């Protein structure tokens, strides 16, 4: 692991002469490289962009053991403040864990204009995940969950182990989001891969059903696995996001 010296871990910031700012969050054990195609597409479209590196990422998996969900939310809120300083409208986009984080951010920050989530994490197939807070004292890590990509030419830079303490934080975060559905009122765009080997489809259908948003849409991705932002449908996601931003900025 080369840490921040290896391309893919670095945060991304783009300043533009635009009223629109986009905050992007990467997923668990990964880094900004997993969502960099989106970041570049938004920058090329002339938008302000911030994509921070979440706490505990970009070094070694052991550095996530003491990180809390609140640390990740703070990372995004600080990046969001930088966007607000140069943008009239701020949108939030997140992949996997990042999707859950931007949902929580939107629940607590009504200034977020709209939210996009991609294969986000609120419910899980593994029945042991609710026990992660206890299991972390017995087992520090499990094999990596990253790299679920259909495109054989694409690779996700991520940790080679999954810290159980981090999984416990994702579960805490998911409970917070699910307890406050009534506070999620912003326009919502949900992308879900029909074939996702990490998180079940009901994350998408549950969110569409429960969110208080009046403006909400579910887009099924037909040719990607979990890390859809690096997969065959990455341009579909980018184009639908840009149309979403444009519509809501008018």
pLDDT digits (tens, 9 = 90+) for 186-244: 999 999 999 999 999 999 999 999 999 999 999 999 999 999 999 999 999 999 999 99
Residue 167 lies in a domain: yes
For residue 5, what pLDDT is reported?
Answer: 38
Q: Cβ distance 31 to 51 under 8 Å? A: no
Q: Choose the catalytic residue: 96, 193, 213, 224.
A: 96
Please tell me the total number of residues recorded for the chain in this structure: 250
**42 band by pLDDT with thresholds 50, 70 and 90:** very high
Catalytic pick among 75, 109, 148, 196: 196
Residue 7: band (very low, low, confident or very high) from pLDDT cuts 50, 70, 90: low
Which CATH number fits the domain that encloses residue 212? 3.40.50.1820
Q: Is residue 3 in a domain?
A: no
Residue 137, domain member (yes or no): yes
- What the block records as the tokens of 112 is 């977020």
The answer to whether residue 1 is domain-embedded is no
Q: What per-residue confidence (pLDDT) applies to 135? A: 87
- Residue 28 CB partners (closer than 8 Å, separation 6+): 96, 97, 121, 145, 162, 166, 170
Whether 235 is a known active-site residue: answer no
Which helix H or strand E contains 218, and what residues bound it? strand 216-221
Answer yes or no: is pLDDT of 92 > 80. Answer: yes
Is-catalytic flag, 148?
Answer: no
Asked whether residue 2 is assigned to any structural domain, the reply reads no
Identify the pLDDT of residue 133. Answer: 85
Arithmetic mean of pLDDT, 4-31: 88
d(CA 98, CA 80): 14
Tell me if 102 is assigned to some domain. yes
pLDDT digits (tens, 9 = 90+) for 94-145: 999 999 999 999 999 999 999 999 999 999 998 888 888 898 999 999 999 8
| pLDDT tens by residue, 161-173 | 999 999 999 999 9
* CB-count burial class (<10 Å; 0-12, 13-18, 19+) for 181: middle
- The catalytically annotated residue of 26, 226, 231, 233 is 226
Let me know: does 243 contact 214? Beta carbons within 8 Å: no
19 is catalytic: no
Q: Is residue 221 part of a domain?
A: yes
Strand, helix or coil at 37? helix
Number of independent structural domains in the chain: 1
Residue 199 belongs to domain spanning: 9-249
pLDDT of amino acid 3: 36
pLDDT reading at 6 higher than 80: no
Residue 62 DSSP class: G
The model's pLDDT over 57-78, given as tens digits with 9 standing for 90+, comes to 999 999 999 999 999 999 999 9
């Amino acid at each position: 692991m080369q840490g921040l010296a290896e391309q893919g871990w670095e945060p991304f910031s783009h300043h533009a002469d635009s009223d629109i700012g986009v905050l992007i969050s990467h997923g668990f054990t990964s880094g900004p490289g997993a969502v960099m195609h989106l970041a570049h597409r938004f920058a090329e479209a002339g938008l302000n962009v911030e994509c921070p590196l979440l706490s505990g990422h970009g070094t070694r998996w052991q550095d996530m053991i003491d990180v809390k969900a609140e640390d990740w939310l703070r990372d995004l809120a600080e990046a969001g403040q930088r966007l607000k300083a140069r943008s009239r409208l701020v949108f939030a986009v997140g992949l996997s864990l990042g999707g859950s984080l931007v949902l929580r951010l939107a629940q607590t920050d009504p200034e977020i204009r709209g939210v996009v989530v991609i294969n986000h994490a609120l419910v899980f197939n593994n029945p042991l995940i609710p026990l992660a807070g206890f299991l972390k004292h017995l087992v520090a890590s499990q094999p990596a969950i990253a790299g679920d990509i259909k495109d054989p030419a694409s690779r996700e830079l991520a940790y080679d182990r999954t810290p159980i303490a981090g999984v416990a934080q994702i579960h805490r975060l998911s409970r917070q989001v699910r307890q406050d559905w009534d506070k999620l009122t912003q326009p919502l765009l949900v992308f879900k891969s029909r074939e996702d080997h990490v998180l079940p489809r009901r994350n998408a259908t549950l969110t569409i059903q429960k969110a208080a948003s009046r403006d909400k849409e579910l887009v099924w991705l037909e040719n990607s696995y979990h890390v859809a932002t690096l997969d065959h449908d990455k341009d579909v996601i980018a184009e639908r996001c840009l149309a979403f931003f444009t519509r809501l900025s008018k």
